[in-house]
């Protein structure tokens, strides 16, 4: 596992680096030498290392200081999270990013509400916790919008070796040690009735790694605001299809500015084109050329409209002429080759019959219906297609039906 840690030199970061290395991960880390609010810098880091997992720890965390530097907390904690997520997705779309939020987002919790659960309402009570709520929203947005794998954790207080002296427990311990040096046995403190749960930082980093490696998230693919049926379908096919072809993605959603029924139709066409789903027939049609003397696009539209009624999975080829019919329809279950006066119908790689052009489509569907009624049996194919000229010569000799 290639793991990148932002804030790797901080209190938690140092423990996480050690734990991941002990666990056999390949680890890289960035800290203050890289500004998480610099999008270009983040892209460079992620493109260079291409992590499978990112642990985003880099943040301003001191609650007290957040009151005087609220905008800086927003910049680092919110904008920084956005740029880290963007860079992680651009580098490795299937990677997982663990976002470290905070239990501070729950604000002041009443005794009767304990123990709180993760769906407890957020009530940030200071600029630090507000920035963490916003950072979570950024993470939710990218997960929803582009299916990015994101985990959000809200750790409670933790302590352990190496924590800065401006945090409560190290501060108290430090003052106790100083008092002892001075020969004193007491230190002045504030309200001692406050109760807090503390986790050992070494347990916390173990939990982070377990979560990042074990939580299975489906990767959802989609191109938002893709456009009209024509342009949007192309964009979706390119965007979604490219990732699917590489084995990336678990679910897809096509979004078009059109009648909503067009969206699943386009989605299934993408899946069918990649051979990932069978649903209804697949039609292929030749691109037409100077030999097309029937208007293959009109023929194809008529066939496509009638095929839309069929739930069965089979393939039909529509060709503009009989010259390349045997070859181009060779792999389809059925095919037709149009002509000015007569056309040919192919079935499973062989010429089936020659018919008058005005009944070509009706005859094709008669054959398809008969085949479906007979159980959709696919006969064994010839190992090699016959040369086109030979097939043509044979086809011309077929009597017109």
CB of 290 to ligand SF4, least distance (A): 7
Closer of 63 and 388 to ligand SF4 (Cβ): 388
**Of 64 and 287, which CB lies nearer to ligand SF4 in the complex structure?**
287
- Looking at beta carbons only, is 241 or 343 nearer to ligand SF4? 343
- Min dist CB 378 to ligand SF4, Å, is 23
Which region, left, alpha or beta, applies to residue 89 given φ > 0 means left and ψ of -120 to 50 means alpha? alpha
Handedness of CA 179, 184, 185, 189 (dihedral sign): negative
CA gap 338, 358 in Å, rounded: 10
Cβ at position 395, least distance to ligand SF4 in Å: 13
State in angstroms the smallest separation of the CB of 323 from ligand SF4: 5
Q: Which two tokens stand for residue 47?
A: 């493109």
What SS3 state is found at 223?
strand
Q: How many CB atoms are located within 10 Å of the residue 63 CB?
A: 15
Contacting residues toward ligand SF4, per CB under 6 A: 286-289, 291-292, 296, 319-321, 323-324, 328
If the CB atoms of residues 13 and 339 are measured against ligand SF4, the closer one turns out to be 339
Residue 255 or 324: which CB sits closer to ligand SF4?
Answer: 324
Q: Which is nearer to ligand SF4, 241 or 320 (CB)?
A: 320
Q: Which is nearer to ligand SF4, 16 or 321 (CB)?
A: 321
Q: Shortest distance, CB of residue 25 to ligand SF4, whole angstroms? A: 54
- What's the sign of the alpha-carbon dihedral 84, 88, 93, 95? negative
CA distances from 358 to 339, 361, 362, 363 (A): 10, 8, 9, 10
Please state, in angstroms and rounded to a whole number, the distance separating the CA atoms of residues 213 and 60.
Answer: 26
DSSP 324: S
Closest approach, Cβ 8 to ligand SF4, in A, equals 59
* Smallest gap from residue 337 Cβ to ligand SF4 (A): 7
Residues contacting residue 355 through CB under 8 Å, at least 6 positions apart: 342, 343, 344, 345, 363, 400, 401
Least separation in angstroms between residue 287's CB and ligand SF4 is 5
Q: Nearer Cβ to ligand SF4, position 150 or 319? A: 319
| Beta-sheet strand order (sheet of 315-319) | 282-285, 315-319, 334-337, 342-347, 350-356
Name the closest residue to ligand SF4 (Cβ): 320
Give just the sign of the alpha carbon dihedral 189, 191, 192, 195. Answer: negative
| Rounded (to 5) percent helix, strand, coil in the chain | 45, 15, 40
């Amino acid at each position: 596992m290639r793991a990148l840690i932002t804030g790797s030199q901080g209190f938690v970061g140092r423990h996480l680096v050690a734990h991941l290395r002990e666990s056999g991960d390949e680890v890289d880390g960035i800290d203050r030498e890289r500004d998480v609010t610099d999008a270009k810098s983040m892209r460079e880091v992620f493109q260079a290392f291409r992590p499978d997992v990112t642990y985003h720890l880099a943040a301003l965390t001191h609650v007290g200081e957040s009151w005087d530097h609220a905008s800086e907390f927003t910049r680092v904690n919110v904008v920084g999270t956005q740029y880290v997520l963007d860079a992680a997705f651009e580098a490795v779309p299937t990677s997982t990013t663990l976002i470290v939020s905070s239990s501070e987002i729950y604000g002041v919790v009443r005794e009767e509400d304990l123990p709180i659960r993760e769906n407890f309402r957020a009530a940030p009570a200071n600029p630090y916790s507000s920035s963490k709520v916003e950072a979570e929203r950024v993470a939710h947005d990218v997960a929803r919008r582009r299916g990015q794998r994101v985990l959000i954790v809200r750790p409670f207080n933790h302590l352990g070796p190496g924590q800065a002296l401006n945090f409560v427990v190290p501060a108290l311990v430090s003052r106790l040690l100083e008092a002892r040096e001075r020969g004193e046995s007491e230190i002045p403190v504030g309200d001692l009735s406050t109760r807090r749960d503390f986790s050992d930082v070494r347990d916390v980093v173990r939990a982070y790694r377990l979560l990042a490696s074990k939580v299975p998230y489906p990767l959802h693919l989609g191109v938002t605001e893709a456009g009209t049926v024509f342009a949007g379908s192309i964009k979706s096919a390119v965007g979604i299809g490219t990732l699917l072809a590489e084995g990336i993605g678990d679910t897809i959603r096509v979004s078009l500015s059109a009648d909503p029924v067009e969206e699943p139709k386009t989605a299934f066409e993408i899946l069918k084109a990649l051979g990932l789903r069978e649903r209804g027939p697949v039609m292929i049609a030749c691109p037409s050329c100077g030999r097309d003397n029937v208007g293959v696009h009109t023929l194809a539209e008529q066939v496509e409209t009638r095929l839309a009624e069929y739930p069965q999975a089979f393939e039909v080829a529509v060709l503009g002429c009989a010259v390349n019919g045997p070859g181009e329809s060779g792999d389809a279950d059925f095919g037709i080759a149009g002509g000015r006066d007569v056309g040919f119908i192919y079935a499973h790689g062989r010429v089936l019959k020659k018919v008058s052009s005005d009944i070509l489509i009706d005859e094709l569907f008669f054959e398809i219906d008969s085949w479906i009624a007979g159980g959709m049996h696919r006969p064994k194919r010839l190992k090699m297609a016959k040369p086109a000229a030979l097939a043509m010569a044979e086809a011309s000799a077929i009597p017109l039906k």
